[in-house]
Amino acid sequence: MTRLELVVGPPAHGGHCVSRVDGRVVFVRHALPGERVVAVVTEQRRGYWRADAVEVLDPSPERVTPPCPYAGPGRCGGCDLQHASAPAQLAWKTAVVRDQLARLAGLPDHPVTVDAVGGGLLHWRSRTRYAVSELGVAGLLAHRSARVVPLDECLIARDSSVVLERSWPPSSSVEAVVSSGGDTAVLVDGSPVEGPPVVRERAVGREWTVEPGGFWQVHPQAPDTLAGTVVELLSPRRDEYAWDLYGGAGLFAAALGCRVTVVEASARGVAAARRNLPGVDVVHAPVERAVLRLSTPDIVVLDPPRAGAGRVVVEGIVAAGPRAVAYVACDPATFARDVGTFRAAGWRLAELRAYDIYPMTHHLECVGLLTPAGAGPGAPRPR
DSSP state string for 204-258: TTEEEEE-TTS---SSTTHHHHHHHHHHHHH---TT-EEEEET-TTTHHHHHH-S
φ/ψ of residue 63, rounded to 5: -75, 135
Rounded to whole angstroms, the Cα distance separating 192 from 201 reads: 17
Cβ partners under 8 Å of residue 65, min gap 6: 83
* Nearest residue to 92 via CA among 30, 38, 144, 5: 30
Cβ partners under 8 Å of residue 105, min gap 6: 336, 337, 339, 340, 343, 349
**Contact predicate 154/78, CB 8 Å:** yes
* Nearest residue to 263 via CA among 224, 320, 304: 304
Measured CA to CA in angstroms, residue 195 lies from 146, 163, 179, 181, 198 at distances of 28, 13, 11, 13, 8
> Of these residues, 17, 154, 330, 366, which one is catalytic?
330
Other CB atoms within 10 Å distance of the CB of residue 345: 16
- Residue 154 designated active-site: no
* Nearest residue to 287 via CA among 314, 264, 270: 264
Q: Is 29 helix (H, G, I), strand (E, B) or coil?
A: strand
Residues labelled as active-site residues? 330
